[in-house]
Amino acid sequence: MKKRTTELLQLPGETFGDDRQFIASLHKGLEVLRNLAHVNRPLGNKELSDLTGYPKATISRLTYTLTRLGYLRYVEESGKYVLGLPVLGLGYACLSGLNVAEAAQPLMQELADHANAMVALGSRDQFSMLYVAVAHSRGPVSLQLRAGSRISLVRSSMGRAYIAGLPEREREALLPALARHAAEQWPRYEQQLSDAIEQVREYGFCWNIGDWYPEVNSVGVPFVPADRSQVMAFTCGAANFVIDEKKAREDIGPRLVRLVARMSYA
């Protein structure tokens, strides 16, 4: 059985100590790319230095190198950097390797059309959930997020479902980092997360009534692909006048659980 690598994913602020196999300069370069992808706007060396905590001289060498390799593009007018096309190529190569996303798409579209909502599949990237596949309803009302969008790990139903789906050892390793990141908000998030984990245990899904965004309700279900390479999660969400709490719990949640069950045979 293939072992999941969830426990090897780095968290912000994590150091690798005396791990002689770890290449720190590569890590720093990837953090530059990660931050540019996360903010989705041009950034200068000073902004990247502030975001990563690396000295500006280090950032300057990294952006120079990444620009020479094509992974960054320098915008003369603003003196800032944007992601280059080779990064897009890596992203498409990653998505093409996710056969699960292709298999899920028609099932997601079926639920999206039924619920007049958005359905998404994603997994964790640090303190966010990253959408890898999205289906929108064909109706006039639908959340306009897309593949590549990020949402909160602790405030979204997708993120809470993901955490609920982790093996207990991995979940316990993640919680202290979440607490540090959330700071004074953690007691509230911790209770909401605890409630979601219990909901997943009892019903197979968790619901989020306005916690991620005040006028949006959603449902989340954890999902582990057949190769057990990682934990993922599905979500279905819409404006609260499209999916109210009763519909989330009695209709959308059970349907999302059945979608995951069907994925087991896809």
Q: What is the pLDDT of residues 45-99, one digit of tens each?
A: 999 999 888 999 999 999 999 898 888 888 888 889 988 867 765 665 555 556 7
Instruction: Answer with the residue of higher pLDDT: 148 or 153.
Output: 153
The answer, yes or no, to whether residue 103 has pLDDT greater than 70, is yes
- Position 86: which residue type? P
Question: What are the residues whose beta carbons fall under 8 Å from the beta carbon of 4, sequence distance 6 or more?
Answer: 228, 229, 230, 231
Q: Can you name the CATH fold of 6-90?
A: Arc Repressor Mutant, subunit A (1.10.10)
Q: Read off the DSSP letter of residue 43.
A: B
Q: Can you list the positions of beta strands (E) in 52-194?
A: 72-75, 80-83, 118-125, 128-136, 150-152
Contact 226, 105 (CB under 8 A): no
pLDDT tens for 3-29 read 444 443 445 445 555 667 777 888 888
Write down the CATH superfamily of domain 98-263: GAF domain (3.30.450.40)
> Residue 148: its pLDDT value, please?
77
In residues, how long is the chain? 266
pTM of the complete model: 0.71
For the residues 221-241, what does the mean pLDDT come to? 88
For the chain, the average pLDDT equals 84
For the residues 144-167, what does the mean pLDDT come to? 90
d(CA 184, CA 164): 22
pLDDT tens for 29-51 read 888 888 887 777 888 999 999 98
The answer, yes or no, to whether residue 136 has pLDDT greater than 60, is yes
Instruction: Answer with the residue of higher pLDDT: 206 or 138.
Output: 206
> Residue 6: its pLDDT value, please?
40
pLDDT tens for 167-188 read 999 999 999 999 998 899 999 9
- Position 36: which residue type? L
Domain boundaries, given as residue ranges, for the chain = 6-90, 98-263
